[in-house]
């Protein structure tokens, strides 16, 4: 019996330099005219935000150019989120000037865009829920800006004290809304930069203001908790977001992600299904549900979800890799090789696809092909313990025990408990 067959079931249970500078500096200015009923601190913050928005346009152009050089495919919205997250702002100068019956606030900033970590951060903004929530908040903010200008006009035209108090109260509410927006925007940017503690603090400040942005604040804080591996707290925040807005599909799918990390697969499947019901066009939820169905051993349903996703997106390596693993569990090795080969053609640097194709080739006794794939996986990642283990098992199946033991020992040295056990078994002649 091929020794790999004895461990494969256990395995399946667990889930060039640039021609331009990497840092770009942008100088921009922003102004804001404060009217009656407004506070200076918020007015200055509005001027600062306008300067940031102007800088963001140039930053977006830079990010787009850089991403093309690095062959990173980004949508316009993803570029905006990424550019915002990459910008670090320094205030160079600011001043206040009396203009008519109001005060003009002027701020000059220097925004630095460091592209050193752009490739890693680009993966984060690929999460559609992040982009969609970012767009929604931006749209709400633009509306609030129009509302505040309208209220300022109403205040000038107000005749009675009661009318003035009523409008001033709305202006105060508008300022609280702006402050909440500012904190959530910071939370987004901190999250993109993997500064999760700061993201959590920023969103907590937004929540304390108790505005219409609470759904977004809970959602973004939930994402920060999730990425920070604080899954229970993430689930609590997604619960709150869903309670406030039962139709927030991203809330269900993000909560499902957290449930999946806690191995609560039934709850994850239920949430992905709910998200699909609310927004059937968000096909990533079919892919994620397929992964969970596969973990649960519901292979038929997993393949259905993979098939649907692939019918909509035929250029996604992870989908083919996921379906290949499902085919392996079914014993459909020819289909799994076909899917793994497709995954490699899409993403030639995907070490996992080489590893799993090597596993399948080993099972069907194509040892030369298996060794080539394990070699490829190791060339991509010299510390890929699973690949050494797979190559060791291939050597073992081929009767080359010394080479097998050497690779299994390497796997053990890289922290693989399974590799350590296999070394003992091979050395004892049990395999």
Q: Is the pLDDT of residue 281 over 80?
A: yes
Tokens of 196: 């999760």
Whether 340 and 321 have beta carbons less than 8 Å apart is answered as yes
What pLDDT, in 10s, does the model give residues 200-247? 999 999 999 988 889 999 999 999 999 999 999 999 999 999 999 999
Tell me phi and psi for residue 229, to 5 degrees.
Answer: 65, 25
Sign of CA dihedral 51, 223, 76, 83: positive
Q: CA 126, 27, 117: angle at the middle one, nearest 5?
A: 30
CA distances from 289 to 307, 315, 426 (A): 12, 18, 38
Predicted local confidence at residue 120, as pLDDT:
74
Predicted local confidence at residue 102, as pLDDT:
79
Q: CA-to-CA distance for 286 and 276, rounded, in angstroms?
A: 8
- Residue 196 exposed, middle or buried by CB count within 10 Å (0-12, 13-18, 19+): buried
| Number of other residues whose CB lies within 10 A of the CB of residue 361 | 23
Q: Is the pLDDT of residue 193 over 60?
A: yes
Predicted local confidence at residue 100, as pLDDT:
77
What pLDDT, in 10s, does the model give residues 354-410? 999 999 999 999 999 999 999 999 999 999 999 999 999 999 888 888 899 999 999
For residue 258, name the pLDDT band (cuts at 50, 70, 90).
very high
What fold does the segment set 136-245 form as a domain?
A: 1.25.40
* CATH 1.25.40.10 domain locations along the chain: 136-245, 366-431
Which DSSP string do the residues of 41-96 spell out, in sequence order? HHHHHHHHHHHHHHHHHHHHHHHHHHHHHTT----HHHHHHHHHHHEEEEEEEEEE
If you search the block for the tokens 């603090």, which residue do you land on?
Answer: 201
User: Of 32, 178, 28, which is closest to residue 95 (Cα–Cα)?
Assistant: 32
Q: Which residues, other chains included, contact 18 with Cβ-Cβ below 8 Å and sequence gap of 6+?
A: 66, 69, 70, 115
Which DSSP string do the residues of 274-328 spell out, in sequence order? HHHHH-TT-THHHHHHHHHHHHTT-HHHHHHHHHHHHHH-S--HHHHHHHHHHHH
User: Where is pLDDT greater, at 15 or 35?
Assistant: 35
User: Where is pLDDT greater, at 162 or 10?
Assistant: 162
Q: CA-to-CA distance for 191 and 98, rounded, in angstroms?
A: 38
CB-hemisphere CA count at 13 Å for 241?
A: 27
Predicted local confidence at residue 8, as pLDDT:
40
Predicted local confidence at residue 205, as pLDDT:
97
Q: Which residues, other chains included, contact 288 with Cβ-Cβ below 8 Å and sequence gap of 6+?
A: 253, 256, 257, 260, 272
Tokens of 348: 């030639």
Q: CA-to-CA distance for 335 and 322, rounded, in angstroms?
A: 12
What pLDDT, in 10s, does the model give residues 143-156? 888 888 899 889 88
User: Where is pLDDT greater, at 129 or 351?
Assistant: 351
Mean pLDDT of the chain, nearest integer: 89
Select the CATH number that applies to the domain covering 366-431 from these four: 1.25.40.10, 1.20.1260.10, 3.50.50.60, 3.30.1490.190. Answer: 1.25.40.10
* CATH 3.30.1660 domain locations along the chain: 23-124
Q: Which residues, other chains included, contact 175 with Cβ-Cβ below 8 Å and sequence gap of 6+?
A: 38, 39, 42
Predicted local confidence at residue 329, as pLDDT:
94
DSSP code for 14: -
Tell me phi and psi for residue 108, to 5 degrees.
Answer: -115, 130
For residue 430, name the pLDDT band (cuts at 50, 70, 90).
low
Q: CA-to-CA distance for 124 and 102, rounded, in angstroms?
A: 43
Tell me phi and psi for residue 90, to 5 degrees.
Answer: -125, 130
Q: What is the mean pLDDT of residues 62-84?
A: 83
In CATH, 23-124 is 1.10.287: no
Q: CA-to-CA distance for 64 and 47, rounded, in angstroms?
A: 26
Percentage with pLDDT > 70 across the chain = 94
Find the helix or strand (DSSP H, E) in which 331 lies. Answer: none
Predicted local confidence at residue 306, as pLDDT:
98
Strand-pair partners of 107: 30, 94
What pLDDT, in 10s, does the model give residues 5-26? 444 444 333 333 333 457 889 9
What pLDDT, in 10s, does the model give residues 299-354? 999 999 999 999 999 999 999 999 999 999 999 999 999 999 999 999 999 999 99
What pLDDT, in 10s, does the model give residues 105-114? 999 999 998 8
């Amino acid at each position: 019996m091929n020794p790999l067959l004895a461990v494969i079931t256990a395995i399946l249970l667990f889930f060039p330099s640039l021609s331009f500078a990497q840092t770009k500096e942008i100088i921009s200015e922003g102004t804001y005219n404060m009217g009656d009923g407004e506070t200076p601190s918020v007015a200055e913050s509005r001027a600062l935000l306008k300067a940031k928005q102007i800088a963001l346009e140039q930053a977006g152009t830079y990010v787009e150019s850089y991403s093309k050089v690095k062959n990173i495919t980004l949508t316009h919205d993803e570029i905006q989120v990424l550019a915002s997250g990459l910008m670090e702002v320094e205030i160079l100068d600011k001043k206040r000037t009396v203009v008519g019956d109001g005060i003009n606030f002027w701020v000059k900033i220097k925004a630095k865009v460091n592209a050193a970590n752009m490739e890693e951060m680009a993966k984060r903004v690929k999460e559609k829920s992040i982009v969609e929530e970012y767009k929604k908040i931006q749209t709400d903010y633009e509306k609030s800006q129009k509302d505040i200008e309208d209220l300022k006009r109403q205040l000038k035209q107000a005749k009675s004290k009661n009318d003035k108090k009523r409008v001033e109260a709305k202006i105060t509410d508008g300022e609280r809304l702006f402050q909440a927006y500012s904190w959530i925007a910071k939370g987004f940017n901190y999250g993109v930069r993997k500064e999760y503690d700061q993201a959590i603090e920023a969103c907590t400040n937004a929540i304390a203001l108790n505005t219409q942005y609470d759904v977004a604040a809970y959602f973004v804080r939930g994402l920060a908790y999730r990425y920070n591996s604080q899954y229970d707290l993430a689930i609590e925040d997604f619960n709150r977001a869903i309670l406030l807005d039962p139709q927030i599909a991203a809330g269900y799918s993000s909560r499902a992600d957290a449930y999946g990390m806690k191995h609560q697969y039934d709850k994850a499947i239920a949430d992905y299904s709910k998200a699909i019901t609310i927004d059937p066009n968000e096909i990533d939820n079919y892919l994620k549900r397929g992964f969970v169905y596969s973990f649960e051993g519901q292979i038929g349903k997993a393949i259905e979800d993979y098939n649907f996703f692939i019918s909509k997106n035929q250029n996604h390596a992870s989908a083919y890799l996921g379906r290949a693993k499902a085919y392996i569990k079914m014993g459909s090795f020819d289909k799994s090789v076909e899917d793994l080969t497709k995954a490699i053609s899409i993403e030639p640097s995907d070490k996992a696809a080489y590893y799993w194709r090597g596993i399948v080739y080993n099972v069907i006794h194509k040892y030369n092909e298996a060794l080539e794939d394990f070699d490829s996986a190791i060339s991509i990642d010299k510390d890929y313990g699973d690949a050494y283990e797979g190559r060791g098992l291939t050597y073992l199946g081929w009767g080359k025990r010394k080479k097998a033991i050497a690779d299994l020992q390497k796997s053990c040295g890289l922290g693989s408990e399974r590799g350590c056990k296999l070394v003992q078994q091979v050395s004892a002649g049990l395999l």
